[in-house]
Amino acid sequence: MAIGRPSPSSSQTPDPGAARRSSRARGIPEATVARLPLYLRALTALSERSVPTVSSEELAAAAGVNSAKLRKDFSYLGSYGTRGVGYDVEYLVYQISRELGLTQDWPVVIVGIGNLGHALANYGGFASRGFRVAALLDADPNVVGSTAAGLPVRHMDELEEIVATQHVSIGVITTPPGAAQQVCDRLVEAGVTSILNFAPTVLTVPDGVDVRKVDLSIELQILAFHEQRKAGDEPSAGDSVLDRAPGPVRAAAAKLRRAAGGKAEPAKAAPTAKGGPDDDLSAVMPA
């Protein structure tokens, strides 16, 4: 992975390049990998209903994608279907599980046992797919010692030992944003090479370490954007001609803004106050 990357780069989820290259190595496009869990879920449901085979059309509908995409996705795995019939459900479940690496055990540590940490610890879908919570960790003495989902919350200082003895390679960060990078560094140092980050922070990691992030705030903002579109549109504010004007006009406006003394547009919104969004340490749950 990480082919031509010179210095340590933060291979966050949004960066397709790095992740893509690493998976394309053996041929499976990143976009396809991201959909495999979807197919697996749909197939598992069919399997439980003892359905022997499915057509690409049916399975695609169940997974919420179109059938051509599904067929192409499967073609990267090999030719597991039978023309005129469809795909063997059980066989496909197994093949996808294997491809995703779910046929083996993945011990996971969760760091930061706030509201979200609790939620994740209780998540049933964990164990069912080969993931096992190896330990719950927190730095707060008030939290350490309590139990969540039947597991004891242990102190951060035990991190290194746990990772080493249990061969943990995946870590989940559910700390406040301020602590995330520090925790991340420690995880990496201890030997963790894949991190799922719920804190609203850009994590910087060395080459060879994968980071994926889940960010509720971002998802909501994207929804808001589309929602605004649906409404009358027109971003509403002091938009006018200036903003989209070309060259000179715009430049002059910029100059004016700077001259006006920092604060441009004494707008009603624009969160500038302290204790705001991301530094809000009270937010144990960041996403």
Partner DNA sequence: CCATCTTTGTGCACACGTTCACAAACGCAT
Partner DNA sequence: ATGCGTTTGTGAACGTGTGCACAAAGATGG
Binding to DNA in span 255-284, by CB under 7 A: 255
186 binds, among a second copy, DNA, none (CB under 5 to 8 A by kind): none
Taking the complex as a whole, how short is the minimal distance between the CB of residue 12 and a second copy, in angstroms? 5
Q: Which residue, chain included where needed, has tokens 């085979």?
A: 53
Task: Identify the H or E element spanning 237.
Answer: none
How do strand 147-148 and strand 151-155 relate by DSSP bridges?
A: antiparallel
Give the footprint of DNA on residues 50-79 (CB under 7 A).
54-57, 65-69, 71-72, 74-75, 79
Residue 115 annotated as lining a ligand binding site: yes
Q: Which is nearer to a second copy, 45 or 164 (CB)?
A: 45
Among a second copy, DNA, none, the one that 157 touches (CB under a kind-dependent 5 to 8 A) is: none
Neighbours of 286 (CB within 10 A): 26
3-state secondary structure 41-95: HHHHHHHHCCCCEECHHHHHHHHCCCHHHHHHHHHHHCCCEECCCEEEHHHHHHH
Shortest Å, Cβ 115 to a second copy: 3
Single out the residue of 146, 108, 102, 110 nearest to residue 128, CA to CA.
102
Tokens of 208: 């060879």
Task: DSSP letter for 201, please.
Answer: S
- Helical packing angle, 56-63 and 30-48, nearest 10°: 100
142 labelled binding-site residue: no
Q: Which does 115 bind (CB under 5 to 8 A by kind): DNA, a second copy, none?
A: a second copy
| Binder of residue 41, out of a second copy, DNA, none (CB less than 5 to 8 A by kind) | a second copy
Q: Of a second copy, DNA, none, which one sits near residue 150, judging by CB under 5 to 8 A according to partner kind?
A: none
Please check if 59 is assigned to a binding site.
no
Chain residues that interact with DNA, rule: CB under 7 A: 14-17, 20-21, 24, 29-32, 54-57, 65-69, 71-72, 74-75, 79-87, 247-248, 250-251, 255
Binding-site residues for NAD(+), please? 112-117
